[in-house]
Structure 1
Amino acid sequence: MIIYIDILLIENFIINLFLLMVMTKLLKVKKRRKQEVFAATLGAFYVLVMISPSLKFFTLIPFKIIVSIIMVYITIGTTHIKNLIKGTGVLIMLSFLLSGVCFGLSFFSNGYSLNSGYTLNSYPIKYLVLAILCILIFTERIVDIIKDKYFVSNYTYDLTIKINNKEIHTQGFLDTGNELKEPITNLPVIIIEKALYDDVDLDPKKLLYINFKAVNGVDGMLRGIRVDEIIIENESCKLLREGIVCFTEHSLAEDGEYRALLSRGIV
């Protein structure tokens, strides 16, 4: 029997990625695309121990369970024992379910008799199954991208900030969980990227320093300035507000869709 290693790895990678994708859906955990791909790749390479006589020892059930736990850990990124056990159980259950479906489909192209039993001579439906899994993986990814784009577009505003007779134009995302305000004036805070104000001269005497604390417990201090003319607009409204503009050296969006974060109190 001839085994093509590259095809074997690709087939197992597709199956592992599909199973991990369904597992994260069922567990309702945050998607980690790169980690999913890495875990699926690890699982794909593990299949090599099944075709290597010197590594047959690693095909025992305890090692299979350990590999499953590692794949789940990489995918969901947690060390909580309960979550690891739950994720591993779901992954194994899905593996058995998919195996049962594939085995059932194999009856369409292979005969079975009470005398000779069942022999798997060919499995042309395998490529149909792999094609369906690929379509489901890409469809799920495309749907997630569309949902994210739609969500961001609904909460994105055209932003014009006038500082020292200069206007900064950018896109701002309304962070509904952001309630950061300057404690004395009680004005809402807008956070913008450093590159937007590089050519703006700021008077050090007018700078404000605002303490903040994130949900994950990280705290720090933002440097900002009071602005009396902030124009916020989209297709349905146009608002003129005053607030505190704070500056960050970090990029706020990976794809550059927006470069400012709006406080909930400013809209």
Structure 2
Amino acid sequence: MSVYIDILFLQNIIVNYGILLVTQKLSGRYSTALRKLISATVGAAYLVVMLLCPRIGTLYTIGGKIMLSILMVSIAFPCQRLKNWFKALLSFYISSFIFAGAGFALMSFLNQGIYFKNGEFYTQMKSDGMLLILTLATGFLMVRAFTDIFRKRIEKDSYIVKTYISLDGKTVCVDALIDTGNSLTDPVSQWPVMIAELESIRELLPDGMVKWFENWTQMSAAPSYDENAEWIKRIRLIPFNSIGTQNGMLPGFKPDGVCVEKEELCFERTQVVVCISRSRLSSAEQYRAIISPEMVTA
């Protein structure tokens, strides 16, 4: 069988990127698209070197594969905490097994030469594009099923966790309740929404924006565009329904990032909206924010 290096290289970049996307979901660690792309390219380049330099026996050993996985995870998910890094590495291995399983399942179902070898993706199918679509789709469906089961297990109880909200170089820490009934999302971006008491994050916000959140329903109290041009881009209005309130609206903003600490794990999110509550969320002051289970799941 003829092997076209350029096609094989591109195929493995795509599959490696998919594996890294799943790794990100399972580990709860955020990675930029550029980091994942660089990491995926490194993995694909490893395969090319293996094919062009078969005499380098180290590349075919388990040790070589482990070093490659460590390098790829370090590039895509640089972590300050060793535990979080090991979780990302374990998630990478799980993701690789999931995609390998998806490949073998397709091989059995379609009776085609679809397989993983030496940790890389190969195919004898006539339609490489169709193979990629089928393998990626099957892999992601398997991950979705796995994470849904995992999510149901952690949703049996509610937790109060430390949550760090970052904005313009500032960070505040609030106690947040993981509320299984909170399914609020931004209708435009579909990002998860957390709710925080205004007083708990007051020091994070400019004075003009604090006043705006206090009186946001009064148009005359809104800050001018000239004074808060950057903030205008961050503001979100999230519709909601609750008992006694139909077609309500919550004001919020997009932070630079949110980090939730749960059971010695850190779940980082940049795609999240923080909505503001002017009243207390807990009468006993046990918590000052509410987050959804999605923010602390793989």
**TM-score (normalizing by structure 2):** 0.47
Q: Which residue of 2 aligns with 1:28?
A: 28
1: CA distance, partners of 2:50 / 2:98: 21
User: For each residue in 1:217-250, what CA deviation from the matched residue of structure 2 results, as whole angstroms up to 9, or x when unmatched?
Assistant: xxxxxxxxxxxx979987xx2254499xxx89xx
Q: Give 1:20 deviation, angstroms.
A: 0.7
User: For each residue in 1:128-170, what CA deviation from the matched residue of structure 2 results, as whole angstroms up to 9, or x when unmatched?
Assistant: 3312427998xx9xx998224x96xxxxxxxxxxxxxxxxxxx
Which of 110, 127, 130 does residue 128 from structure 1 map onto? 130
Report which of the two structures shows the higher radius of gyration computed on alpha carbons.
1
Is the alpha carbon distance of 1:241 and 1:97 closer, same or farther for their aligned partners in structure 2, counting shifts above 3 Å?
closer
User: For each residue in 1:1-52, what CA deviation from the matched residue of structure 2 results, as whole angstroms up to 9, or x when unmatched?
Assistant: 4221211111101111111111111112224222112111111111113212
Q: Which residue of 1 aligns with 2:233?
A: 257
Q: Give 1:127 deviation, angstroms.
A: 3.6
Q: What letter is aligned with 2:102?
A: V
1:39-188 correspondence runs (5 A): 39-52=39-52, 53-107=54-108, 108-110=110-112, 122-124=124-126, 127-132=129-134, 133=136, 146-148=189-191, 178-180=201-203
1: CA distance, partners of 2:85 / 2:204: 39
2: CA distance, partners of 1:84 / 1:257: 33
2: CA distance, partners of 1:127 / 1:241: 55
SS in 2 for 1:2: coil
Q: What letter is aligned with 1:180?
A: E
Extract unaligned runs of 5+ from structure 1. Answer: 112-119, 152-174, 183-187, 192-228
Is the alpha carbon distance of 1:266 and 1:90 closer, same or farther for their aligned partners in structure 2, counting shifts above 3 Å?
closer
Is the alpha carbon distance of 1:23 and 1:91 closer, same or farther for their aligned partners in structure 2, counting shifts above 3 Å?
same
- In the comparison of the two structures, how many residue pairs are matched? 185
User: For each residue in 1:41-75, what CA deviation from the matched residue of structure 2 results, as whole angstroms up to 9, or x when unmatched?
Assistant: 11111111321224332221112111111211222
Give the superposed CA RMSD: 4.8
Is the alpha carbon distance of 1:264 and 1:179 closer, same or farther for their aligned partners in structure 2, counting shifts above 3 Å?
farther
Is the alpha carbon distance of 1:145 and 1:4 closer, same or farther for their aligned partners in structure 2, counting shifts above 3 Å?
farther
Identity of aligned residues (%): 23
Q: Which residue of 2 aligns with 1:238?
A: 218
1: CA distance, partners of 2:35 / 2:92: 15
Q: Which residue of 2 aligns with 1:38?
A: 38
Given that 1:35 and 1:75 are in contact with CA atoms closer than 8 Å, whether structure 2 keeps it comes out as yes
Given that 1:252 and 1:258 are in contact with CA atoms closer than 8 Å, whether structure 2 keeps it comes out as yes
Q: Which residue of 1 aligns with 2:160?
A: none
1: CA distance, partners of 2:34 / 2:105: 33
1: CA distance, partners of 2:111 / 2:138: 23
Q: What letter is aligned with 2:233?
A: E
Given that 2:213 and 2:276 are in contact with CA atoms closer than 8 Å, whether structure 1 keeps it comes out as no
2: CA distance, partners of 1:144 / 1:54: 55
Q: Give 1:78 deviation, angstroms.
A: 0.6
1: CA distance, partners of 2:27 / 2:91: 8
Given that 1:241 and 1:266 are in contact with CA atoms closer than 8 Å, whether structure 2 keeps it comes out as no
Q: What letter is aligned with 2:81?
A: H
Is the alpha carbon distance of 1:29 and 1:252 closer, same or farther for their aligned partners in structure 2, counting shifts above 3 Å?
farther
2: CA distance, partners of 1:231 / 1:82: 38
Is the alpha carbon distance of 1:29 and 1:121 closer, same or farther for their aligned partners in structure 2, counting shifts above 3 Å?
closer
Given that 1:72 and 1:87 are in contact with CA atoms closer than 8 Å, whether structure 2 keeps it comes out as yes
Q: Which residue of 2 aligns with 1:201?
A: none
